[in-house]
Amino acid sequence: MSEDYIWQKPYNQAVLESDAARQQQLIWQAEDAIQSRLNDSTELGIDEAVAIERTSNALSAMGTERTASQNKILAASSSD
């Protein structure tokens, strides 16, 4: 995975993380890094803006997917 922008490192780490709790922390770190970049006074180029949009969508999906998986596990364990 390419890391052309500093905020991509925590995202790449989150994608590769298999531990659910650690992955959630990395998702939050990636979201914070993106927010910091958006608050930065340096202008975004079109390539970075597109990369941020795609990464933000992926982070959102990762968080939703992880929550759905955890809910299924909890439901299965409570029915035992």
Q: Give per-residue pLDDT as tens, 28-78.
A: 999 999 999 999 999 999 999 999 999 999 999 987 765 555 555 556 666
- How many angstroms separate the Cα of 78 from the Cα of each of 67, 70, 72, 75? 16, 12, 10, 5
Q: Looking at residue 14, what is its pLDDT?
A: 93
Rg over alpha carbons for the chain, rounded to the nearest Å, is 15
Q: Looking at residue 64, what is its pLDDT?
A: 72
Position 3 confidence tier, pLDDT thresholds 50, 70, 90:
confident
